[in-house]
Amino acid sequence: MASKKIKILIFFVMPALAVLVFIFSLKTGTKDISFFDTFKALFGYGEESVLTIIRQIRLPRIIMAMTAGAGLAASGCVFQGILKNPLADPFTLGISGGAVFGASAGFVFGLASLSWILIPFSALAGAILAVLAVYILSMRGKFNSKSMILSGVIISYIFSSAVMLVFSLSKTNQFYSAFVWLMGNLSAFDERLLPVVIIIVLAGTAILCLTGNIINAITLGGQKASTLGIDTEKTVKIIFLLTSLITASCVSCCGVIGFVGLMMPHIMRKIAGGNHSLLIPASALAGCIFLPLCDTLSRILFAPVEIPVGVITSIAGGIFFIVLMMKRDGEIL
């Protein structure tokens, strides 16, 4: 696609779509509300019951979905760039493994009943533990993509075994809470966390959007990047920690929502090309559109029963991926 068309798509069409999805998600649900009433409620007018549904139940959830979608997709895009591997995602380096371990341990040790903040906190602690472990392990290989991916895979394995250990020690009801959390869920987070997550994710994503050309240069490999004046090791360290912080904040509130971080950059790369200075904002916007849509589906598909949004993102992403693959003569990467 010509670069002008791509820019129009990214900077006009996609934000407009995001707004449409926002309004659509607000009005759709077990109780369908008209556009007019939705708008009224958004600005604080209308029936009490409608106001509650829109402003207190749906609005925070949709904002969280948009924030987490943008954060996960932008991080995925950046991870794919610095790891020089289009199959990487924000969870390749073990962050999800760490977070799941933290949260499951939290559920099993009964932290959920003590205070609302303890589960997200233990998830965050687990994620940070995993990030630090990968960081220290990668230092020996000077932060090249091989050493980072290898460390990530090892840490993920260790943590997933630890999760199994924790599960085998747990009681049924704790197991269920942990299991639902594990599949990615946008209905369970505490609203008091929302402002913190928004600030971290949006500020972090904004910074990532500015690093596009640095990441472009890093994808050329250490030798070339070095002669272009880039200290690859230092830059990769900083970007790795920043993306980890974004991912960890999303995961500790919403659980492990798979496929967004892998699929959004992939799909956008097919449409907009590989230039990260466009691809990172494009991926963020795609996540911002895709995740609230999936969440709305998860609310209405088997209403009144809600299914975890992670299930929807994985199925929808997978199907989309297959269609894309068939169209492109089997060339996935």
* Distances, alpha carbon 213 to alpha carbons 3, 7, 270, 275, 299, in Å: 16, 16, 19, 8, 39
Closest approach of another protein to the CB of residue 68, in Å: 25
Closest approach of another protein to the CB of residue 231, in Å: 7
Closest approach of another protein to the CB of residue 82, in Å: 12
* CB nearer another protein, residue 160 or residue 216: 216
Where on the chain is the footprint of another protein (CB under 8 A)? Answer: 2-3, 81, 84-86, 210-214, 216-217, 219-221, 223-224, 226-231, 269, 273-275, 277, 333
3-state secondary structure of 90: coil
**Phi, psi (deg, nearest 5) at residue 124:** -60, -45
* CB nearer another protein, residue 144 or residue 187: 144
Residue labelled with tokens 């139940």: 57
Which residue, 291, 263, 216, is CA-closest to 76? 263
Closest approach of another protein to the CB of residue 298, in Å: 32
Closest approach of another protein to the CB of residue 270, in Å: 8
* CB nearer another protein, residue 191 or residue 231: 231
* CB nearer another protein, residue 9 or residue 54: 9
CB 74 within 8 A of CB 212: no
In angstroms, the first-to-last Cα distance of the chain is 18
* CB nearer another protein, residue 8 or residue 169: 8
| Cα–Cα distance measured from residue 105 to residue 47, given in angstroms and rounded to the nearest whole number | 43
Element (H, E) at 184: none
Name the amino acid, one letter, at 85.
Answer: N
For the record, the structure tokens of 44 come out as 């604080």
* CB nearer another protein, residue 29 or residue 141: 141
Closest approach of another protein to the CB of residue 149, in Å: 14
